[in-house]
Amino acid sequence: MEYFKNTVDIKLVALDMDGTLLNNQGQVSKANREAIKAAKDKGIYVVLSTGRSILTVRDHADDLELTSYLVTVNGSEVWNEKRELVERNLVNTEHIQWMWDLSKQHKTRFWAINSEKTWHNEMPEDLHKWEWLKFGFTIDDDMTRELVLKELISRGEFELTNSTLKNIEVNATGINKARGLSVVCSKLGIEMENVMAVGDSRNDLMMIQEAGLGIAMGNAQDIVKETADCITATNEEDGVAKAIQKWVLDNK
């Protein structure tokens, strides 16, 4: 841990939201809020990098007075400081149709995000009229989840992650939070090695791997903890604030 503290020059902090920045009540704690402000005051970019769409990210970003980029829908979209779209990466509508059929076949719950809204356990009458960004399965039964995952993998056409142990998140192949952050870094003129990325789930793995400093939350999935450079406290214990303090503020 001290190695990273002493050698990585953090210029950008990338934060997952659910299970990371937000506590279990979906709120940003006072400590997290203060740490983010302190980082911003020192000229550090703070970027929300999340599986959520812009519709449920914008209010949090505005509330935190973030004036930097946003990476949404697991990297399917990148937004600039004016909340203007920089990049959008779509899932083919035929693939969305196939996954919807797959969910019906296995009787799973699902959600799907297009450029206008998030659909839960229902779909528009003509899904081919929409631009789709992500499809997600929520499956409580382990055996069913494995069957669905195997079918998805066999297609070889998707980026497969999760945000909880009970779900599967599907983006277009090659689209993930790390790729979204690389777009942000190129716009800002910094390198991924100057990024500290913090997360808790499989959809955070790539950004944790590719960042100069990857931090797993104390409540993170085991694979995330094994991949990360360091582990902070849980989302109920101000883990984001503690990570920013230790590896960013104390190092400036």
Looking at the annotation, which residues are catalytic? 16
| DSSP 8-state symbol, 90 | P
Reported residue count of the chain is: 252
CB 78 within 8 A of CB 68: no
In sequence order, the β-bridge partners of residue 12 are 45, 195
DSSP string, 189-217: T--GGGEEEEESSGGGHHHHHHSSEEEE-
DSSP string, 57-106: HHHHHHHTT--S-EEEGGGTEEE-TTS-EEEE-PBPHHHHHHHHHHHHHT
**Which residue type does 67 have?**
T
CB 13 within 8 A of CB 39: yes
